[in-house]
Each structure stands twice: as structure tokens, then as C-alpha cells.
Structure 1
Amino acid sequence: MRKAHKKLLLEIFDSLHEAHREIKKLMTRGSHEEALALMAQCQDAAVDIGTTIDDLEGDGTSAVKYLEKYCEALYQVHEGIIADMTGNKAFSFLEEKLNNAEKSLKNDIKVKLEILFMPYKSSMWDSLESIWREASADPDCDAYVVPIPYYDRNPDHSFGDFHYEGREFPKDVPVIHYENYDLEERRPDIIYIHNPYDGENLVTSVDPRFYSGELKKHTDMLVYVPYFVWKPFDPQNAEEVKTRIPFCTPPSVRNLDRVVTLTDYMRDLHVKAFISRFGGDLLTRKEAEKKFIVAGSPKIDKMLSLTAENTGVPEEWLKLTENKKVVFYNTSLSGLLNSPEQYLSKLQMVINFFKERSDCVLLWRPHPLMESTIHSMTPALMNGYMNIKNRFIADQSGIFDDTPDTLKAIYLSDMIYGDISSVCTQFEQLGLPVLYQDISGNDRSALEEWIEASPKKHTERPGADYISNGAKIHRMIKSQVIGG
């Protein structure tokens, strides 16, 4: 039974207890006709509860059998009033029967949660996937995946091209079209999202129908799981902490019931940022302490689960990289926007460097919003970027990865080079070599030394006792919803 249904039925039980107290008063002062009329209403309410339970749980539940005994008790009290039964005796008798039915509803009928996952980009599904898998396997939950549409932003920040990526999710993920899931009617117990920016992202925007304020109208537990993994940093470094603060309080943060963080000190940073932005009063502090939780990242779970089979690495990639080191070239939006023209020069330099080497292969995977960002923020550079990209693809000396997710690239790569991003943090979490590029200088020598010193990877798969971050998140949120 859904939590909302159970809550509603228990509220009717509360009304019945109140009615019993009123019946007792009416009988004590001799208002028998009014007491009888109120008992008739109690009987109707009990029948409605029983019908609802039958509809939701099927016939034969203990709760309905106890409700039937309660209805018999109402009849006996009805007859007792005629025979001068006292109000106290009637009250005790009805309460005993009603309590049995109420306890059975609470204890014998389990709550079944409806959990809704609302990703927008298929390439970011790994930030939610292990939670969904855990919820799908939980007999106490019904889990649904409803990808939501989004728009690119034009240079004037108006909505541009419309995108819906529901067809790009893994085949074993059953997807429901957003038009076929009625949020208002279904009112899921939990909603998970990985885009917290509402209308304030200058590159893309999810459809406004799915901004956090709209989602919050239809659930009591809206959870944000970051689509990125933060690079570890020194919490004593004031400058570095300062750069992280904006990510701690995204536009949707007041609408979010929970925000998942990676470590204790990252949670502490989120709490401090929230209090700094919204005030230090007691209510704000309590909200912050409750809102931010530590449970790791599902993206790490995904990396640990990768195989050649489940990633579907193309055969031509395997042939090109055979007996060679594979370097994941990670190019980010921040790197581009900080120094656009210099960045394009760096791209060409790196491509030329790897083209000269026979011992390794460059696997270039730009940020999935790279072209949208150039179009929106630096449109004058679009031709230059596209020329570099198209020449690299035509040359066939490396791999250009524009597949829906990072999984193939992560599985195939031995190391990662490029801009700071959550993908680099994922490599660090697995103990794989990471080197950050210097946009403003020539890091050729450092790159050569790093490649020479870095071996091909050998990643151990987790053992049977491994508890995934997705499992931790699911169990924590489920417990809080049921317990709350």
C-alpha cells in the first residue's frame, strides 16, 4: 500500500476515535438518537476503509477482518443503547475493536513506496543508476524512470533546440514517457533528480514543467544526487573552498529535501554555505543539518561494474587500442570558457602530440554540452572548434567519443589527461593516473614523462560484500520516508 493511502486511512481511524469520544458524551447525557446517527457514520467509514484495503491489497487481509468485527461491535452497541448500555462501556468496547483493526493496518500491511527517477541527459544516468537498481530490486518499492526534456539556450538565453533522450537509455532500463506519467495523480513518495539549476543554467534548461518548485508540489521527498564527483580538496584552503561554495546552494536548494554529498567535510561545507546564504536562525540551521547527507556517489559504483560486455565498446576501438595505452582526453566547459581562443590552440597541440606517438591512443571525449556551450556563449569560435573536431575524426589516429555516456571511454582508458572534472575524480577513486593540462603553457615534457611512467591499468572488481553507494542512498532515504 502506498504511504499516502495508509496515511489517509489512519487519519480516518483518528476521526473514528474522536467519534467514539463524542458517542460516549451523547450516551452519558441521554442523547441516544444523536449517538445512533453518529454510529451509523462510523459504520460507513469502516466500510469505506475496508473497501479501500480490499482494492489495494486484495481480499482476506487481517485488517479487514478486524474491521468486520468492529462493525459487529457497532451493531451490538446499537442494541445495547436500547437496553440502557452505559457510555463508558460502549466507548471501551468500540475502542478495543477499532484498535485491533488499526494495529493490523499499521503492522500487517506494508508500505510500498513509489520512487520516481527523473534524469534529463542519458550521459548522466550513471549518477542515479545504482540507486534505481537497488530500488527496483526492493519488494517494498515500485521504481519508475521518467526522463524529462530540456532545451539548449540561445546566445540571448532564450530557449533553443528541444531535446528528449528517453530512447538513449540502456535497454534494460524501462523508460516511461514524461507525458504518460501524471505527477499530480501519482504523487510519488520520492523523486530523484540530477539537475538542480531550474532556469538559471545559461547553457541548457530542463522543461519548466519540471523545475524543482513544480516537482516539490507532488512529493514529500525531493532528492538531488550530483551528476559530478567533486575532486578532493583541502577544507583549510580558503581560496579553494570559495570556488566550491556556489555548487553547494544551487537554485533549487530550498525545494530539495535531501542533497547527497560525498564525504563528511563536503557535507559540512554544504551546511555552512546554506547557513551563510539563508541566515543562521535556528530553523535554517535545522533545515541545513537535515537536508545534506553523506552517502557517496553512484558514479563510482558504475565504474566498478564496467566490463567489455556491459559497456559495448565498439570493435574498431578495441582494434585501434590493442597493445597500446589509452589516454582519456577530458575537455570541460570551464576550461573552454576561461580562455576560449587559447583553449582551441591547446586542443590542436594535444591532438598533434598524440598523433606522433605509436605507443598510445588519444580518446577524446568533450563535455556533452561543449558544442551547445560554444553556440550559446562563444559562437564566434564554433567554426574553429568544428574544424579541429572534424579533422581529428577524419584522421582516424585516435577515438572521438560522443556516445551517450562515459562508460566505454572509462572502461577502455588507462589514464586521464585534461581539465579538472568529476570524471578525473572517478579515476582517482580507482587509483588510476591523472594529469591536469596547463592551458596557458607547454606541458609536453610533463605529458611525455607521465605517459612513460603510467602502466596499463588492472582494476579489481568489488567483492560480494561490497555495499554500493546506490544501496546506501536508497536505504537511507527509504528509511527516512517510512519513518517520517
Structure 2
Amino acid sequence: MRKKKKEQIISLLQCYREAHSAIRKGIEEGRGEEAISLLVLCQEGMEKIERDTEQEPCGKTEREALFSSYQEALYSCYLSLIKTEEENAEPGTSCLDRAEAYFSKIEEEIASIPVKTLHLFLPYKASMWDSMESVYFAALQDSSCEALVMPITYYEKEDGKFGKRINERAEFPSEIETIDEGFSLEEAQPDVIYIHNPYDDKNILTSVDPRYYSFHLKDYTENLVYIPYYTTMGKAGFGSLFMPAYRYVHHIVVQSEEHKQRLPKEVQEKARILGSPKLDRTLAYSQNPPKIPEDWKRIARGRKIYYYNTVIEEMLGHPESFLQKMEEVFSLFKENPKYCLLWRPHPLLESSFFSVDTAYRKRFLELKLRYLTEEIGIYDSSAEPERAVALSSVYLGDETSSMAALFLAGGKPLFILDSTVSEERRQEERNQGERNREKRLTAYFLRLFRRMKRQSFALSGKKESEEALVYEGRFLLMGQLEGDRLRIRKLALSEWGIPEQESMSVSAREYMPVPADEYGEAYFYEGRWILTPRAGNHFLILEKGKEPKKLPLPEGGCKPDAFSGSYRGGEYLFCKAENYPFDIRFSLKTHGIKELKEGILHEEEGREVFLEKGEEIEHVEFLFPAEELISGFLPWRSFSYGLQETALYSLSDYLEERPLLYAFDEDDSKRKLEELSVHVGSSGKAIYAFFQAMLNGKEE
């Protein structure tokens, strides 16, 4: 029996017990008509309770006999009130005594009926069901829970209006029993409702049926739970945005403390750190790999499968470079003798092209058609992304995607693509010789510095050694501008107390000592290097002969791209916030840290905007072998652990197995996975146990 229903019945029983006392008083005081009215009320009410409990098998026979005896005793009491003394009726109070005795036993029987809670799952896309599946399976294992899955209708939007109506119930796995939308939420009042669409009426591409907007669902349950359909990597991603449903849901499931801290502050109290069900399914597939479909097998022809992920955000932001990168990837894999591409676009990618110029949509559809007709690789549009993960060897794609997290969970390499790196341009330059290689490097580093807003060290006019760029947490790049030439040399961090990775045994380190995007710039002052945060939560002070010293930021918490850049102004360093709440001012003299809640004022800057002179540089000259800039698989804040494509090391280099300083290390990958989420492999059980315990009045 549902807990809420049982509580309602017990509350009604208490009312009827009080009615018994009123009946007794009416009999004793000669108010027969009043007593008869209450008898009828008890009779009808207990008949309803009997109907409400007849589906409960526990003690059913005993309850039926007790209800029958109770009704007979009430009837005898009624007869005693309408008969005269000459008719020799049983005294009313005696009949009532019998009724109350049966009533007490009915109360005991009902109290012993096992309670069942109702957990209702409302997925809208079959391909996103994995964000709920392991919670559902955990609920099925508990006999005290009724778990129901109701796939809900959604609409594709066209010019902001509802278009095609879709319900994907038929696409759910056959082992998942689903119900149709005739199920009454208002009548059922589920104990817990799970959703994975947080957009309500604000999504420009699709919309669930308005009946299922969170501001309606909250009226049908006391526990509306949002489980993200994605897994978050290091990037802030959706977590930092205020989603419409955040206002109305009671609980938000997050993967880790870091994930919680990325939520808008006003909803962090709703966060429940319980992990990600998507990772559960990935691990299950990895431990028991599925059979490769025959069509896939025919196309792969025994080659290693590389997974290619294309995401909406990248396309909307840069549709031209996005499509160019698609063309490049398809070309690299067409007829590749060793590697087969598996392309699985985001389920909403194609419809998202309605939001950009029609020419881009036309190019995308032509590329897709070419990919399919020429069988360049495997195309996966199924509702089982974990199958593709299990059967693939490497991830290629965006750093923020949930799919990257699934490959990390599976212990597989991540190769993060950069759409600004063009293989066609690289090939042209290779054909033209070494001189053009220098131009390529020059163009790349200038583009890097401008994009990251980190060229102040080269443009400030100060001495060569005063300012530097922290490169991948490995060494400092120090530059000096001479005319139109930027000359760069490097300084190893190992000289200042941070050991190099290659000098450490795997057992002696957790992973790379400094995450690749932890720091942005470095400034030399009175014998010390001060490293400013980029994704980290602290300044780092390096001094020869001393242990490195961390000075934490007031807000704490590591965030990718927390700061977009920094520069020196007099005796202060200024860090410009991107994902951190405030700009920061750091005192070189006192090492004091101040949050500038009003932003960096013009008079505080004390210098020209440092990006203006960047166009003057024509050449970059490295005073060390440029190959030393090629690293390999590193830990990052932005995508945990993987290899970032650059102009120095592209996808074609990787496919040609060009050597890397740091090859993929599965142990390092697993260690970063522990940072990614709690309860990896058992999140579904943890989520279900948490809410079930809460319903039972226990703390988990």
C-alpha cells in the first residue's frame, strides 16, 4: 500500500474512533437520531476503507472477516436504537462494545500492511534514459517500492512554436516496462517524481508537453527530483546556469562537491551529492561488452573504432569551423586502413541547425548524406550511447560533453578536438617546407595568446624575466618583444620545487603535479615566482629552496576558466574573472587577496589595455626545440584527463601514432575518474536509497 494512502486511512480511522465515542454519548443521553446518523457515517466510511484495502494481499482474509463482523455489530447497534424496550433488543452500548473490539483489530491489521512508496520516472527521450535507468533498477529490487516509467510527450519547435509531436515510448529497451500518459498524477500523488529535462518552456529547440513543466509537477509530489541528463566534466557547462526547473524542483542530483559548487548559489541547498547514473550504465557495458551489430561489423572490417562526438554548443558558437572540422575528420577516416570512425551526433544536433543560417544546415545535411552513402564509418542514432562507448577505443570531440565523461569512466583515451586547427592548412604548409612550419607555429601561438587574453607578458615592455605564461603546468614561457619578433624561452618548474612527471614513479604520484590549466600567468617579484589562477582556486608562490606555498582564494572551489587573464599594475596583480564571482587584486608586497566586487576600475589598472598591441607581432621565435611543447595526455580542469589537439599535434598526428612525451596512462585516468563523481558504478542505488530513507523518516 502507498505510504500516503495508508496515512490517509489511519487518519480516517482515528476520526471513526472519535465518532464511536460520540455514538456512545448519544446513546447514553437518549439522543438516538444523532447516534444513528453517526452509525451510518461509520458504516459507509468503513466500507470505503475495506474497498481501499482489498487489493492488499497481506492479511486479506482476516480483514474481510473483521470488516464483516464490525458492520454486523454496527447494524445491531442501529436496531437497538429503533426498537422499543418491549421488543427485547440488545442494549446499544453492548453492540457498540463489540463493534469497537472489531474496530481495534481492524486498526492493528491495517497498521501491519506493508507500506509501498511510488517512484515515478518521467523521461522524454529514450537516448537519455540512461540518466535514470540504474535508479529505476534499484527501485525494482525493493519490494516496498512501486517503480513506474512513463515516457512523456515532447514537441520539436519551429520558429518558437510547437511543431511535431513525439513520444518515444516504443524506443525504450524491451526490459523496461512503461505506462502510457493516461496515468493520473493528480490521483496518484507519487512520493518521488524524477525528471531529466530542466528547461520547461524556455528551450528554443524542443519542449516537453506543458503538463510536465516543473511548475506543474511540483503540485503532485513533495519530492520532485532533477537528475541531469548529462555528466559534467571539468567545464562549468550547464551546471552554472540557472535552469528554469531549478526554481521548482525540491532536489538536484549532482556528481560531486565540485559539481554542487558550480550550481547557482541560490539553489545549492537543493543539491544532493549522489553521483551520475549514466556512469553506472557505462561501467556495466564496459564490464560486459555488448555484441557488435552486424552492420557495424561489416563497416569496421576489424579496424579499431574511434568515437566521434559532435555537440550542439560548438555548432551554435562556430558553425563554419564546426563544419570544416567535420569535413576534415571524415576525410582522415575515409578508407583509413587501421581506424574506423563511429559518428554519433547529439540527438538534437540536426534540429539545432534551424537556429543558424540555412546554408549551414544544407552543408550539414550534405555531409551527413555523404557519410552514410559512402559508408565513411559507422553511424549511430540508437538510444544506447553506452554501447558505442563500450565498442570504441578512443573518444574524439568536445571537452565538455557527457560522452567524454563516459569514456573516462570506461578508462579510455580522450582526444579533445580543436576546430581552429585545420589539417588542410597544416598539409599545405608541410609541402612548402620548414619556413612555413615556423609561420604555422607563429600564427598558432599568437592566436592562442589572443584567445586566452594572455599576452601581457610579451607586450608590457618589461624585462624578459618578470612575466611569463604557465604552459600546461609544465614550465614557464618567458617572452621578449624585439621589433616585430617575439622571442620565447622556457623555464622548468622543476627548478622551483615542482618535480617533472617523467622523473616520478607512478606509485609516487597521484597524477601530474600541476593540472595543465590550473595556472595562467606567472610574475617574478623579489626572488619569487607568483603563479596566478586560471582554473585553480589559489595563487602559488615558488621560491628556490622552499616548499611551494598556496594562497587560497576567498570563494574556494576550482572552476575551468575561472579567470580569463591577469596583468601587473604597480605593486598589484589583477585577475579578470570569467567563471569566478569577482575580479581579484593580489598584493605583491603583502600577498593579500582582495575581491573587487565592483570590478577592476580603470584607475586601478594603471596601464593601457594589454590586448591592443598584439597585431604588431609578425614572428614568434622559440629559443628551445619547439617539439618540447608537445606533451600528450595530461590532467586538466576542463576535461579531467586527456590529450588536447593543437597546431603542434593534430588528429592526423595521433592517427599516425606520432610519439608523445606522456602517453595515455589508464591509472592516471582512473584517478581522475575518482574526482569526477561519487558512487561511480553504484549511483543509482545511492540515489534510490537516499530518497527511500528520506520517505521512511531516516537519514542516509
- TM-score where L is the length of structure 2: 0.57
Q: Mind listing any 5+ residue stretches in structure 1 that lack a counterpart?
A: 234-239, 275-287
- Deviation at 1:475? 2.4
SS in 2 for 1:192: strand
1:162 aligns to 2:376 (yes or no):
no
Match of 1:256 among 239, 244, 249: 249
- Counterpart-to-counterpart distance in 2, 1:191 and 1:379: 39
SS in 2 for 1:177: coil
- Counterpart-to-counterpart distance in 2, 1:418 and 1:20: 72
Would you say the 8 A contact 1:329–1:363 is kept in 2? yes
Match of 1:201 among 200, 203, 211: 203
Find the counterpart in structure 2 of residue 337 from structure 1: 316
- Counterpart-to-counterpart distance in 1, 2:223 and 2:279: 24
- Counterpart-to-counterpart distance in 2, 1:262 and 1:318: 35
- For 1:111, give the aligned amino acid: V
CA 1:77/1:174 → structure 2, altered by over 3 Å: closer, same or farther?
closer
Mean alpha-carbon deviation: is it higher for 325-334 or for 93-102?
93-102
Find the counterpart in structure 2 of residue 49 from structure 1: 49
Find the counterpart in structure 1 of residue 468 from structure 2: none
Would you say the 8 A contact 1:245–1:273 is kept in 2? no
CA 1:173/1:312 → structure 2, altered by over 3 Å: closer, same or farther?
farther
Find the counterpart in structure 2 of residue 12 from structure 1: 12
SS in 1 for 2:198: coil
Match of 1:142 among 129, 142, 146: 146
SS in 1 for 2:344: strand
CA 1:261/1:95 → structure 2, altered by over 3 Å: closer, same or farther?
farther
- Deviation at 1:231? 0.7
1:131 aligns to 2:126 (yes or no):
no
Task: Percent identity, please.
Answer: 33
Would you say the 8 A contact 1:136–1:142 is kept in 2? yes
CA 1:68/1:297 → structure 2, altered by over 3 Å: closer, same or farther?
same
- Counterpart-to-counterpart distance in 1, 2:262 and 2:80: 66
- Counterpart-to-counterpart distance in 1, 2:65 and 2:271: 43
Find the counterpart in structure 2 of residue 284 from structure 1: none
- Counterpart-to-counterpart distance in 2, 1:346 and 1:90: 87
Would you say the 8 A contact 1:414–1:457 is kept in 2? no
CA 1:157/1:377 → structure 2, altered by over 3 Å: closer, same or farther?
farther
Find the counterpart in structure 2 of residue 476 from structure 1: 690
- Counterpart-to-counterpart distance in 2, 1:314 and 1:456: 30
Find the counterpart in structure 2 of residue 440 from structure 1: 420
Match of 1:222 among 183, 206, 224: 224
Matches within 5 A, 1:45-194: 45-57=45-57, 60=60, 62=62, 98=103, 100-106=105-111, 108-154=112-158, 156-178=159-181, 180-194=182-196
Matches within 5 A, 1:209-358: 209-232=211-234, 240=236, 244-246=239-241, 249-270=242-263, 272-274=265-267, 289=269, 291-306=270-285, 311=290, 313-321=292-300, 323-355=302-334, 357-358=336-337
1:400 aligns to 2:379 (yes or no):
yes
SS in 1 for 2:244: coil
- Counterpart-to-counterpart distance in 2, 1:105 and 1:210: 34
Q: Which one has a bigger Cα radius of gyration? A: 2
- For 1:174, give the aligned amino acid: E
Find the counterpart in structure 1 of residue 390 from structure 2: 411
Superposed CA deviations along residues 285-325 of structure 1, whole A, max 9, x for unmatched, are: xxx63x33222111111112227987453224234445533
Superposed CA deviations along residues 40-92 of structure 1, whole A, max 9, x for unmatched, are: 53344334323432254487355556656766886899999999x9x9x9999
- Deviation at 1:244? 3.5
Aligned residue-pair number: 453
Would you say the 8 A contact 1:111–1:482 is kept in 2? no
- Counterpart-to-counterpart distance in 2, 1:351 and 1:150: 32
> Where is the strand percentage greater, Structure 1 or Structure 2?
2
- Deviation at 1:227? 0.8
Would you say the 8 A contact 1:24–1:90 is kept in 2? no
Alignment RMSD (CA, Å): 3.9
CA 1:144/1:48 → structure 2, altered by over 3 Å: closer, same or farther?
closer
- Counterpart-to-counterpart distance in 2, 1:244 and 1:190: 22
Q: Mind listing any 5+ residue stretches in structure 2 that lack a counterpart?
A: 423-645, 671-678
Superposed CA deviations along residues 103-160 of structure 1, whole A, max 9, x for unmatched, are: 4322x21122333322111111111122222223432333332222222222x21122
- Counterpart-to-counterpart distance in 1, 2:374 and 2:683: 41
Would you say the 8 A contact 2:310–2:345 is kept in 1? yes
